Amino acid sequence: MSWGHLLQPDLVLHGSILKLTPQLVSQHQLKGLVLDVDETLVPFRAAQVSEELLPWVHDIQQVATLWLVSNNISEARIRRIGKALNLPYIAGAGKPSRRKLRRAVEAMNLAPEQVGMVGDRLFTDVLAGNRLGMFTVLVEPMVAPDAAPRHSSLRTCEVWISQILGATLSPQKNQVK
């Protein structure tokens, strides 16, 4: 499998995770979702989940089982977010390692291809999900509503390198605006 293929998300959402609808989840025949936490569900260093995230989680749970899998090593922070959303979680995942992603998928009693890995990073979330054979969804980072949109040089570098390696992140049929 080529690096370009490993870094190619199956679905690119031009917006936050809130653009991922129950209809899209069902359309792609997903029964479960593994969700990254930092900048996918909550802005980095945010202490609480946003009010708009709670109904989104409820709506998605009507069609898919949810797990949080984060590289963040703060067990207390990820536990607090998991508790606020009433979701099981794994902290310190070490993505792109597949080990803890596999643990979440097995806990759902689903095959990896029935589970989507949703995150904002190509070299951790998308790479880990593709390595495990999951359906991968790339979202734009979640930023605090009172914060000015920021430009991440790390994300820009990831996109640039992945495109050099053959991943396509420009508009195509599997992208949602």
* CATH code, domain with 19: 3.40.50.1000
Question: Is residue 47 over pLDDT 70?
Answer: yes
Distance (Å, whole) CA 71 – CA 90: 8
Q: Which domain holds residue 53?
A: 3-176
pLDDT value at position 173?
44
Query: Residue 164: which pLDDT band, with cuts at 50, 70 and 90?
Result: confident
Mean pLDDT of 130-135: 97
Question: Is residue 141 over pLDDT 50?
Answer: yes
Alpha helices in the chain (DSSP H): 3-6, 22-27, 53-61, 75-85, 99-107, 127-132, 153-164
Question: Is residue 24 over pLDDT 70?
Answer: yes
pLDDT value at position 54?
96
- The closest of 131, 105, 126 to 169, measured between CA atoms, is 126
pLDDT value at position 172?
45
Query: Residue 166: which pLDDT band, with cuts at 50, 70 and 90?
Result: confident
pLDDT value at position 145?
57
Number of domains in the chain: 1
pTM, to two decimals: 0.87
Q: Which of 25-39, 89-103, 134-148, 162-176 has the lowest mean pLDDT?
A: 162-176
Question: Is residue 99 over pLDDT 70?
Answer: yes
Q: Which two tokens stand for residue 80?
A: 């607090």
> Could you identify the residue written with the tokens 């909550």?
42
Query: Residue 146: which pLDDT band, with cuts at 50, 70 and 90?
Result: low
pLDDT value at position 161?
73
Distance (Å, whole) CA 170 – CA 172: 6
- For all residues of the chain together, what is the average pLDDT? 89
Question: Is residue 176 over pLDDT 70?
Answer: no
